[in-house]
Amino acid sequence: MAGIIEAFDSSVKEAFAGIKILVWGVPVCITASLFMTNPTMAYIIGTITAVIFIGFLTQSCNNVITKKDKILPGLNILSYSLVGIVTVITMSPFALLAGLVEYAVLNFINMPSPVWDLTFKIVGSFLAISVILASYVIYIRRLNPIEAYNMRKYFIGFGEVFLSFSYLIVKLTLWSCVIIGFLVYLFSLFIGFQNVIWTYILSSVFVLYFVLGANYVAQISEEVFTFVEKKDNEKKENEIIEKMQAQ
């Protein structure tokens, strides 16, 4: 199973990774701050930032899979924008399906016990997100939109994505209790929470989590599909050899 520690080591510890995370924290911080004063502008800036950030994370995943020297790419905004737009378009049908699954779980299925009902809804939410991620782990291998709709690979990867993603969320939740809990304690003592410093720190932590998540997803893709693709290539080679021998 993919490891969160490995994700941290391979992405966050590389040269200038901290600077890149802090830079990405700026637009996230601006968007969060604008929600309090100008929600319309916040949605506009947030949408643009999200598309570019998705491109950044997608390229990071591809760098992990293709064994690039640097996991986190530079600050080429135009390149990320194009990758982000293609990624959003490619994932949109799966996002729509995930939304339908989420809506059905939250609105039409109710368990008699509140505890079981909450548990079922959490699992249902994980399933809905896995609907998107199962395609995403295929797409990031070659950044080929057509490949993302390979249903054979999709169903091969879905189970592993669901289990690994659920594990990731649990781990990040535990980390949040420690990291954010410690920050809350410090700020409550010295500064308070109604200031841009607190918003910026939370924004940077948010970016850090997504960077770790992207690296983790790339690990899942490698674990699931490296063996599958190797077998497929061997099968194709054997078919070519058989045809040559038949001639």
pLDDT digits over 111-134, tens only? 777 877 788 888 888 888 888 988
Domain ranges of the chain: 4-246
Helix (H) or strand (E) holding 37: helix 17-37
Report residue 59: phi and psi, to 5°: -65, -35
pLDDT at 66: 84
The pTM assigned to this predicted structure is 0.80
Report residue 73: phi and psi, to 5°: -70, 175
pLDDT for 187 beyond 70: no
The per-residue pLDDT of the chain, averaged, comes to 80
C-alpha span between 52 and 128 (Å, rounded): 23
Angle between helices 151-190 and 114-142 (to 10 degrees): 110
C-alpha span between 104 and 110 (Å, rounded): 10
Mean pLDDT score, 139-154: 89
Report residue 110: phi and psi, to 5°: -130, 130
Q: Token pair for residue 76?
A: 């080429």
C-alpha span between 167 and 126 (Å, rounded): 10
Closest listed residue to residue 169, CA positions, set 112, 200, 138, 127 = 127
**CB distance 219 to 3 below 8 Å:** yes
pLDDT at 206: 84
Q: How confident is the model at residue 169 (pLDDT cuts 50, 70, 90)?
A: confident
pLDDT at 200: 86
pLDDT for 219 beyond 60: yes
Mean pLDDT score, 68-81: 79
Q: How confident is the model at residue 203 (pLDDT cuts 50, 70, 90)?
A: confident
Tell the residue number behind the tokens 């609105």, with chain if given.
Answer: 107
**Helix, strand, coil shares of the chain as percentages rounded to 5?**
85, 0, 15
pLDDT for 87 beyond 90: yes
Which segment of 64-78, 91-105, 159-173, 220-234 scores lowest on mean pLDDT? 220-234
Mean pLDDT score, 75-89: 88
pLDDT at 139: 92
pLDDT for 97 beyond 70: yes
Residues in the chain: 247
